[in-house]
Structure 1
Amino acid sequence: MRRTFLATIAAATLSTAALAQQGHSHGDQGPHGGKMQDVVGVHAELLTAERTLTVHLYDEAGKPVPSTGYTASALVGSGQARQVVQLAPGAENTMTGTAASPVARGTSVTLQIKNPTGRSGQARF
């Protein structure tokens, strides 16, 4: 019984550590209706439309964070087909990129962001 309890505690600790490294789900939709994830100290809202990927950046209070100085890429995958999309800073708090093929609804997207200080992180959508 004691071993089972210790194993459960160890599993919970490892799961929590893994979530902390990957970012955790914000649990809300962003102002533009996209999913939100915490990554590198900002809230990132991902939107896809046909081949265009757009990421909006916000602070803890929900205010836009200028995208200047940020770099980002997205690994877009569905089955065996995977593509990397580079995102460039755009107007205000947005970063955009264009995929080679349309991004289907429900496609897995892993976003990698590097902030202006050089710290990087990733989030899965």
Structure 2
Amino acid sequence: MAQQSHSHGDQGPHGGKMQDVVGVHAELLTAERTLTIHLYDEAGKPVAASGYTASALVGSGQSRQVVQLAPGAENTLSGTAAAPVARGTSITLQIKNPAGRSGQARF
């Protein structure tokens, strides 16, 4: 089985951008006000989101908001922003894995 490697800006299985953070590959999807992160291992298999905590700093111009992301179904973390997230908006993900290790990724 070939090992998948993701560099900054790679596209994930759901069409979102992929970033490496705290030992997993995080795929970001936005739809209106909803932010969803899908977690995958090095082989591209889903990683259970239970035990992970995360927040996203969503910024556009002078406007900034922090969105708390909670584990959802299977390998997802999701949250709802106060306002719709415009295409091209800068998003910084802060994530902590079940072992307590934390990291950041920029989308």
Report what 1:108 is aligned to. Answer: 90
Q: Output the amino acid matched with 1:110.
A: T
Structure with more strand by fraction? 2
Q: Which residue of 2 aligns with 1:38?
A: 20
Moved over 4 A (4+): none
Percent identity (aligned): 90
Rate the CA distance shift 1:60–1:26 in 2: closer, same or farther, 3 A. farther
User: What is the CA distance between 1:28 and its match in structure 2?
Assistant: 1.9
TM-score, length-normalised on structure 1?
0.79
TM-score (structure 2 length as normaliser):
0.93
Partner residue of 1:4? none
2:78 equivalent to 1:96:
yes
Q: 1:27 deviation in Å?
A: 4.2
Aligned residue identity for 2:29 = L
Among candidates 51, 57, 61, match of residue 75 of structure 1: 57
Unaligned 5+ runs, structure 2: 1-5
The alignment yields a C-alpha RMSD, in angstroms, of 1.1
Does structure 1 residue 57 correspond to structure 2 residue 27? no
Separation in 2 of the partners of 1:48 and 1:120?
22
Instruction: Tell me the matched-pair count.
Output: 102
> Which whole-Å CA distance do the structure 2 matches of 1:51 and 1:29 have between them?
21
**Max radius of gyration: which structure?**
1
